[in-house]
Structure formats: C-alpha cells, structure tokens
Amino acid sequence: MARTELTALQKKVVEFGEKRNWRQFHSPKNIASALSVEAAELLEIFQWMSEQESRQLNKEEKQNAAFELADIFMYTLLMSEALEIDLLQSTVEKIELNEQRFPINEAAIKPHSHNNV
Ligand SMILES: [Mg+2]
C-alpha cells in the first residue's frame, strides 16, 4: 500500500472518531485493549473449527473475518497515530529483523516459538 493511501485511510479513521467525540477515549491503553478484543473476535470465527475447516470458510464466515480484520487494521492505524509511529517504516524494519532472527537455511518445518519481540 502506498504511503499516501495509508495516510488517507488513517486520517479517515481518526476523523470518524473526532466527529463522534470519541477521541477522548483513544488513549494508547484503550486502543491496545480494543485491538485485543478485535483479535479475539477474529479468533471466535475459528473457534471449534478443525484446521482444515478454518481453511475453507463459507461466504458469511469469510465476510465476518474480513470485517474483524478491518477492525484490527483500523485500531492499528489509530494506535500508530496516537504513538506517532510510522507504520510502514516499522513494518519494514520488523520484517528485516525477522529475516535476521530466522535465517532461511536454519528454518525448521515446525512453527517458531515467540518471545514477544
Ligand atoms: Mg469487531
């Protein structure tokens, strides 16, 4: 996504809150909570599904997933605005960091373990 598109989308999400006087609630702490809730709403779609079923969503399930992802993305945009983080730059930097942490020739077949970095 081009920077101009991302910035325009971020502005739209910020203005949505401003017009409803919701900006007072958009502290980084509250946005982090909202992000976690929206991630849980995405997870709820897959709750009790087998891995195979989770790869074959019906139309309604896919639409629901799309909207929850959009919620997550919008709160991500709000958080990056609140903390004055350049989201594109930090994402590029994190991908580079991950490439260093998990070299291709050392990658195992099973998923890597996370340690909150
Ligand atoms: Mg939601």
Q: Letter for the amino acid at 100?
A: Q
**If you average pLDDT over residues 92-114, what whole number do you get?**
84
**If you average pLDDT over residues 94-115, what whole number do you get?**
82
Q: For residue 75, which of 3, 26, 6 has the smallest C-alpha distance?
A: 26
With a CB cutoff of 8 Å and minimum separation 6, the contacts of 46 are: 54
Domain positions in the chain: 8-98
Whole-Å CA distances, 3 to 7, 45, 96: 6, 31, 19
Reported for 11-16, long-range contacts at CB under 8 A and 24+ positions apart, including other chains, are 13/74, 13/77, 13/78, 13/81, 14/77, 14/78, 14/81
- Tell me the CA–centroid distance for residue 35 and ligand 1, in Å: 9
User: Angle 3-19/59-82 helices, nearest 10 degrees?
Assistant: 90
**If you average pLDDT over residues 12-22, what whole number do you get?**
96
- What pLDDT digit, counting tens, does each position of 22-81 carry? 999 999 999 999 999 999 999 999 999 999 999 999 999 999 999 999 999 999 999 999
pLDDT score of 117: 66
User: Does residue 6 carry a pLDDT above 70?
Assistant: yes
For domain 8-98, the CATH architecture is Orthogonal Bundle (1.10)
pLDDT score of 105: 85
pLDDT score of 106: 81
- Tell me the CA–centroid distance for residue 38 and ligand 1, in Å: 5
Q: Give this prediction's pTM.
A: 0.88
- Tell me the CA–centroid distance for residue 52 and ligand 1, in Å: 24
